[in-house]
Structures are given as C-alpha cells and as structure tokens.
Structure 1
Amino acid sequence: MEALALRVGEALKERGLTAVTAESCTGGWVAQAITSVPGSSAWFVGGYVSYADAAKQRMLGVQAQTLARWGAVSEAVVVEMAEGALRNADADISVSISGIAGPEGGSEDKPVGTVWFAWAVKGRPTVSCLSFFHGDRESVRRQAVEQALEGLLAYLPS
C-alpha cells in the first residue's frame, strides 16, 4: 500500500495535479495512506470522511433522494460523493468509496464485502465500479484502499 501511495504521489506531482478523497467504509484510510508520503501537501488537497448519510449530504452534496432510492452503498451515491468532493475541494481528481466492510450490515443484495468506487476528474465523465472483497473487516477495507489508489493512477489525466 505504501508503494502504491508513493506512485500516486509521484504521478500527481509529475503532472502538477491535486487529489481529494471522499470515504465512507474506509474511514479516511486512503487519505492516511496518501499523507504518509513525504511532501504530499504539494498534491493532496484533503479528504472527507462521511460515514453517516447526513454527513454525505452536508459535506458532499449527496441528494437525500439518491440515498433514499439507492442506499449509501450504491453507484449513484459514490458518483455524487466523488463529484461533490472534487467541486468542494477544487482538486483535479477525486476518489470516493462506500461499502459494507462487515462483519454485520450485509444483505442478500449487498453482502459484506460489497464496495462501490467512483473517480471524478475535471472535465471528464465520472467513472465508477463495483467490487466484492473477501475476508474480515480490516481485509475488506485494505483491499478497498488499494483499489482506490490503483484507480487514482489509472484515471489520472496525462
């Protein structure tokens, strides 16, 4: 994870870009991984930890109707989270994460390990994806952090 965060930092710095995070189930772990890289203040704007639905609405502009219709762990919500973080922080790229890390909280439709991601880049369509991770709570969260960082690398503008 440390090497991946370093690669993200190098890529952002090389391009003169900035990033912001909007996290739910990872509780700020992506931001922590990023800020463990010395000099990250040059390319990391900050992060939002919006665990509760009300925080998603207040901090990131997620619409109440979106949450009511799709639930917090959904494509629609992570897209609004990523776009809200990008807008609020005036960054160049954002990543958002919402999922069910367990051990409780899963359902037949959304089992433990279900995690939605979105990456928003200024001037481009927002990209999202759904992943299903296995393992205990820490393992699910760690896998989500790694995928979030990999996505930042993959979707960075040239």
Structure 2
Amino acid sequence: MVTKDPRKQYRRATFQKRLMDVVTRTRDLVTKLMPSAIPSTTQPTSSQKSNLIAKLYHSVSDQANSTSTSSEISRYLSEYYDPSTNESVEEYWKRKRFEYPGLYSAALFVFSIVPCEAMCETTFSTASFLLDKTRTRLLYKRVEMVVLGSQIATKFPHWLD
C-alpha cells in the first residue's frame, strides 16, 4: 500500500492558493485597464418601435452593453489555446477585437508601450556577471532562472510576500 506524503499535499495546496491569488490579482489589474461599460440610457420613441431595423439595432446594442468586464475575462480565460499555431499576439487581438472589446482596448494600451533597451542591457550585464570563467559549474538554465527571478522581484516586490 502506497501512502501519500502529507508535505507534498501541503505544497500542492499552497501552490494552488498562490496560483489563485495571482489569477485574482491579474484579473483585477486587467479589469482596471478595461473601459467601464456605459449602459444605454436612451429609450425608444413610438416611431422607432414601428421600425423593425431600429428594434433590431436596440436589441443588439442592449446585448453589447450588458456584457460585463468580469464575464468577458471569464470567457477569455476559459477559451482553448492551441500552442501549435503560429499566430502573433497582434494577429490574435485583431481577430478577437469584436469578441472581447474591453480586453482588446486593454491589450492596445499594454502593447502601445514602447520597449526600450535598458531592460535588455541590464539582463545581459546580470547574466555576464553570473556566467564568467570562475563559475564553471553554474548551469545556463539556473542563470536564466536567477536573472528572470531578479527582474520579477525588482518589478513586483509585493509578489514576494
């Protein structure tokens, strides 16, 4: 009979809790970046009620306004992702702009940030400091983890809590 190690179960539960915390923080951040939904305040007049095209327009516009940001994020998170596609991030958001209009505007905001060379230069100087002739036993994968971890810790120190 095989018994399960309780330490492993505790680690798994702790990891799951931290993962859910990160997902919640990310959802809150994306929700702040998304534009708030503006409800439709116009009421149709009697002449519009007789017009079938106006009725169709109002029913479609009411459905578009009723989509909340949290349901949009939930639909996005539950969507299947195929890692074998060669689609770029820009192509993906161009294709999904009508399905996720709020997330599309948040993606436009995030991707409009101009990259600079400072982060790249810092990364290479940190890696060159770690990988020199005296540190021959240090694996490249370990150096990659150290550099990435230091960048994340610098940018998001509250995640280390």
Structure 2 length-normalised TM: 0.24
Higher relative contact order (CA 8 A, sep 6+): 1
Structure 1 length-normalised TM: 0.25
Which of the pair is proportionally richer in helix? 2
Larger Rg: 2
Which of the pair is proportionally richer in strand? 1
